[in-house]
Chains A and B, each alone.
Chain A
Amino acid sequence: MGIIKKTVIILTALIVSFSIKTHYGGEISIRLNEPSSFTYSSSNYSNIIFFALIHENFFYLKSNGEIFSNIFTEYHYKQDNKTLVLRLKKNLSFSDGSKITENEVKVSLNLFLNKNLLSAKRLRKIIKTITTDKDTIHMELLYDRADIVGFLTVPELVLLSGKQAFSGIFYPHEWVKERYIILKPNKFYPGGRTYLDSLKVVFGDELNPDVFLAEPGAFKEYGYKEFNSGIYQNTFICFPKDKVGKNTKAALYTLLKQFFISSGSTTALNSLTSDDESPITINIKKISSWRMRSILKYSKINLYVFSSLSHIEEPFNEFLRKKGVPLETIYISENQLVGYLNNTPIKFLLLEKIFSKRMTLEEKIRKILQEMIFTRFDETYLKLLNELTEIKYLKNEELLIDHVAKIIEKIINDGILLPLAQKRYSLYIKNGIQGVDIDYYGRPLFQRAGLNE
């Protein structure tokens, strides 16, 4: 039995007791990266943890494969008319007390389907229509998929309110920029009010948080339990337009690689997914510092950066100043990206993506093709993607690896995406904190989190 499973069983056993009731009260602090807003963003591991606190998922997938929902009282797939029926629980409300109806569910589902995510694109291909009647959502499918609920367990599919209200375990109560956000329990939370009085999300170098992310093995001996998140987070430099010179690309790549490696919190990444599983090691020729400087000095580069990387803003500016490189950085949220790509000639984009170790290599490559190639995704890539699907069903591992290598080579040769750095995470939870469950996607779920009296 895995250590996570064992711990969860023990913690649950401690919590479900009666003669001594579960203690309500207390505060837990968690160190994460500061979000740019409360609008859902899933570009990095910190974000998927943060947004899971304030936005409720349609469905959860436990690490043991069990699926559950706090929103729907009933869900069943009717094979005869290829329809998934979701029935809302009665009397549900958002954090401000406003009613949760089938319309909010439908709108949230449509917002998700329009996202530039592999999981959304997959679902788009399956769903024919979404209709509602009282407390019920009918999702008619184009073809028979009895496992459709599994598609709805992704972390990005959350219940959103049209107003400034939240469906998650907590709602934001106080935000002191660059320091902390205090989250208070949502007393209308569909899964049942949490035991905690508050959860403090701290940023920066706050000392001794109760929960934090760090590299594996770093804090085992300091009164913390370590949970391997099964997540790694890659940073890439992307060139969404093809009109960028090779020298500029090489110069920017050299600069960014130097920055991330010197920061100490990441390791060099020489593949698109992970060095230990990739069939191809990517060796980009770096150029000398003086040459890099002279190229970048005259290139007038506007580097667009995902806001999930906003924590690097200060050290990066300092790095640029020391290097004497004039580079303008513009931080944009993941949700703004499509709009920017359509209206602004974005040539340089610094982005990060998370991958679950459980995903197969084929899935990871598919995610890269669907989420990071942007406007340079042409018929050649579509052909490669279709071939990938066909080869997958052949169940020939060798063939599959060859094809994945072919795709990676093309992406690199086309100069669309260059890997920079990778972060691996463990989740550390202070001893004495009970009831934190870890889901399939490596997120800590705080619904039943509590402190000893």
Chain B
Amino acid sequence: MKKKIILWGVIFFVSQFFFPQDLDQLSKNIASYINDFFVDKNNVHTSIIKFEDFSNFSDLMAQKFYQLLVSKFEASQTFHFKDMMINFNGNSGEFNLNNINQLNYFIFLKLIRNRDKLGAGVVIFSKSLDRIVGVHYREVLLNAGEINILNTVDYGFQSVGFSKIVEINAQQDLLDIKSIQDPSGDFRYFFYYPNKINIFKHRQTKLEKVSSFDLNWERPYYPVLEYEGKLSVFIFSGIVYLTAGNNFSPYCKVLKYQDNRWNELPALDFIPFKLLRINDQYYLSGSKYEEGKNFFKNKIILALFDSMKFNPKKYFEKKVPAFYSLAFSSKNDQLFSIHMIDRQYRYRFFSDNFEEQTMETEKRGASLSSTSDEWLAVSDYSRGSDTLYFYKIKGGSRHLVYQQKVKGEIVFISEGQWKSFSGFWVFVKKSNKYGNEFVLQFWSKREDTERDQENNLP
């Protein structure tokens, strides 16, 4: 028995040793060809826009190969590479081709299997010449152990992935949480409850209440069985704005922090999620809840933002499916992509021009959120215990990288900061024999937190 264990251990070790080497070798070879091809060309903007897998290995293996390949282009000085893949399903990749006009070379990638060998072919197409300008093919030998390893489910390494940094006991009716950095560099945390907002700052590992104000809702008022709400806090021209909307009032409160006090501005008839810059104009972007229900209507609303002088005629509406959760992925207010969980719990992906790119067949939970063009966190379609899925979404792409089990059920996910760490607030309901307990967790990526700590940036 002991011998068997040792033997398997050796096989595992050997396969671990060879697996990255051979697959990596193949990706290195392909990357090297592409790099050499562009080395004497100027201002090259390229991307893989088609990826097919005929190897009969799993989709997972194809994704691994793709990630190994793409990681070699990210730091390239020779050309500008844009990762546009958003999904890999059924032996082929799905790509966000919204910005295809910005490319002057297209790359087609194919994986095939030749007995025990894995082959990768690459075709380069020039847009200006309208013809294929480069073809390359390479094979590597894979043994049975490597094949097993390639078909093993493994979303990255948890030790460098997202981890729970803090957990706080919370009230059951917490609707949302947001945070901003004040001029002195301290963080302020806004906790949104149905009838009030509490503002906290952190003192060591705890939160300390700074102030609180009531939200006096007026009629029409739609009593609900389940409270839902969304908070947004942003700074524009040095002034802090706060909006608070929900499923029990058709109006969204808007407040402005001035002269050391919160002043209420005229209410909005939709709920802003985020301030976005589109074509050099600022828009408050959001939606409306179905009155009294737990989901949003089938539209995204964009209201021209001019220091809160709203003109209803300048509202734009984009039709989308009714949804439970939506996140605008943006950096420096510029929109990159839109992520959504619809009422059938399907994940849907929209490009920055609101064109739908892909829809997952596998169901997800009702909560998602994204940090600024970096990470997307999504809950699981499950009851009792939950899972957080972390996708890398940089530049309009989307790849599942990490997943972490969560004890309890996720109520909402909201992007935010904890001290200098950026990540996600996750509000979780935990059931035990005494009833329900609600906790607020903060999840951040170790690599990011280390970088943040070094740079002292939120």
Interface of A with B (CB < 8 Å)? 16-22, 24, 70, 89-93, 97, 99, 185, 187-195, 447-448, 453
How distant is the Cα of A269 from the Cα of B379 in the complex, in angstroms?
Answer: 60
Identify the interface centre among A19, A193, A447, A448: most chain B CB within 10 Å of its CB. A19
A10 CB, nearest partner CB in chain B, Å? 13
The reply to whether A192 and B221 contact each other, CB–CB distance below 8 Å, is: no
How distant is the Cα of A90 from the Cα of B195 in the complex, in angstroms?
Answer: 12
How distant is the Cα of A99 from the Cα of B220 in the complex, in angstroms?
Answer: 9
Identify the interface centre among A185, A187, A191: most chain B CB within 10 Å of its CB. A187
B219's partner among A93, A191, A194, A448 (CB-CB below 8 A) is A93
The reply to whether B220 and A93 contact each other, CB–CB distance below 8 Å, is: yes
Chain B residue nearest to A89 (CB atoms) is B223
The reply to whether B381 and A192 contact each other, CB–CB distance below 8 Å, is: no
Within 8 A of A (CB), among B350-371: 365-367
Asked if B454 lies at the interface with its beta carbon under 8 angstroms from chain A, I say: no
How distant is the Cα of A91 from the Cα of B386 in the complex, in angstroms?
Answer: 37
How distant is the Cα of A92 from the Cα of B217 in the complex, in angstroms?
Answer: 12
A193's partner among B219, B223, B345, B379 (CB-CB below 8 A) is B223
The reply to whether A21 and B295 contact each other, CB–CB distance below 8 Å, is: yes
A453 CB, nearest partner CB in chain B, Å? 8
Residues of B near A447 (CB, < 8 A) are: 225
27 A-B interface contacts by CB (under 8 A): A16-B436, A19-B380, A19-B386, A19-B410, A20-B366, A21-B294, A22-B226, A22-B294, A24-B294, A90-B221, A93-B219, A93-B220, A93-B221, A97-B219, A97-B220, A187-B291, A187-B292, A188-B222, A191-B223, A192-B223, A192-B224, A192-B292, A193-B222, A193-B225, A193-B291, A194-B225, A195-B225
Asked if B40 lies at the interface with its beta carbon under 8 angstroms from chain A, I say: no
A20's partner among B218, B225, B293, B345 (CB-CB below 8 A) is B345
How distant is the Cα of A21 from the Cα of B294 in the complex, in angstroms?
Answer: 8
The reply to whether A193 and B324 contact each other, CB–CB distance below 8 Å, is: no
Asked if B67 lies at the interface with its beta carbon under 8 angstroms from chain A, I say: no
Asked if B290 lies at the interface with its beta carbon under 8 angstroms from chain A, I say: yes
A188 CB, nearest partner CB in chain B, Å? 6
Residues of B near A22 (CB, < 8 A) are: 225-226, 294
B403 CB, nearest partner CB in chain A, Å? 14
How distant is the Cα of A16 from the Cα of B409 in the complex, in angstroms?
Answer: 11
Beyond A19-B366, A20-B345, A21-B324, list 17 extra A-B contacts (CB 8 Å): A17-B383, A18-B367, A18-B411, A18-B429, A19-B381, A20-B366, A20-B381, A20-B382, A21-B226, A24-B294, A70-B223, A91-B217, A91-B219, A185-B292, A191-B223, A193-B222, A447-B225
How distant is the Cα of A17 from the Cα of B384 in the complex, in angstroms?
Answer: 8
Identify the interface centre among B226, B344, B366, B436: most chain A CB within 10 Å of its CB. B226
How distant is the Cα of A93 from the Cα of B222 in the complex, in angstroms?
Answer: 9
B313 CB, nearest partner CB in chain A, Å? 26
The reply to whether A190 and B223 contact each other, CB–CB distance below 8 Å, is: yes
How distant is the Cα of A295 from the Cα of B333 in the complex, in angstroms?
Answer: 92
A18's partner among B221, B225, B409 (CB-CB below 8 A) is B409
How distant is the Cα of A185 from the Cα of B411 in the complex, in angstroms?
Answer: 25
Indicate with 1 or 0, residue by residue over B233-269, a CB within 8 angstroms of chain A CB atoms.
Answer: 0000000000000000000000000000000000000
Residues of A near B366 (CB, < 8 A) are: 18-21
Q: A18-B366, A18-B410 are in contact. Are A24 and B219 (CB under 8 A)?
A: no
How distant is the Cα of A189 from the Cα of B222 in the complex, in angstroms?
Answer: 7
Residues of B near A192 (CB, < 8 A) are: 223-226, 292
Residues of A near B221 (CB, < 8 A) are: 90-93, 188
Within 8 A of A (CB), among B122-181: none
How distant is the Cα of A273 from the Cα of B400 in the complex, in angstroms?
Answer: 69
Residues of A near B436 (CB, < 8 A) are: 16
Residues of B near A91 (CB, < 8 A) are: 217-221
How distant is the Cα of A89 from the Cα of B393 in the complex, in angstroms?
Answer: 46
Chain A residue nearest to B365 (CB atoms) is A19
How distant is the Cα of A97 from the Cα of B220 in the complex, in angstroms?
Answer: 7
Residues of A near B367 (CB, < 8 A) are: 18-19
A9 CB, nearest partner CB in chain B, Å? 12
How distant is the Cα of A21 from the Cα of B343 in the complex, in angstroms?
Answer: 9
Residues of A near B365 (CB, < 8 A) are: 19-20
How distant is the Cα of A70 from the Cα of B225 in the complex, in angstroms?
Answer: 11
Chain B residue nearest to A15 (CB atoms) is B225
Indicate with 1 or 0, residue by residue over B336-347, a CB within 8 angstroms of chain A CB atoms.
Answer: 000000001100
Chain A residue nearest to B427 (CB atoms) is A18
How distant is the Cα of A447 from the Cα of B386 in the complex, in angstroms?
Answer: 28
How distant is the Cα of A240 from the Cα of B379 in the complex, in angstroms?
Answer: 68
Residues of B near A70 (CB, < 8 A) are: 223
Indicate with 1 or 0, residue by residue over B404-448, a CB within 8 angstroms of chain A CB atoms.
Answer: 000001110000000000000000010000001000000000000
B226 CB, nearest partner CB in chain A, Å? 7
Residues of A near B222 (CB, < 8 A) are: 187-188, 193
Within 8 A of A (CB), among B304-331: 324
A301 CB, nearest partner CB in chain B, Å? 51
Chain B residue nearest to A23 (CB atoms) is B343
The 3 closest A-B pairs by CB, nearest first: A193-B292, A91-B221, A192-B225
Residues of A near B218 (CB, < 8 A) are: 91
The reply to whether B383 and A20 contact each other, CB–CB distance below 8 Å, is: yes
A169 CB, nearest partner CB in chain B, Å? 11
Indicate with 1 or 0, residue by residue over B198-238, a CB within 8 angstroms of chain A CB atoms.
Answer: 00000000000000000001111111111000000000000
B225 CB, nearest partner CB in chain A, Å? 4
A189's partner among B223, B293, B324, B345 (CB-CB below 8 A) is B223
B136 CB, nearest partner CB in chain A, Å? 46
Residues of B near A187 (CB, < 8 A) are: 222, 291-292
How distant is the Cα of A70 from the Cα of B345 in the complex, in angstroms?
Answer: 32
Residues of B near A19 (CB, < 8 A) are: 365-367, 379-383, 386, 409-410
Residues of B near A89 (CB, < 8 A) are: 223
B389 CB, nearest partner CB in chain A, Å? 12
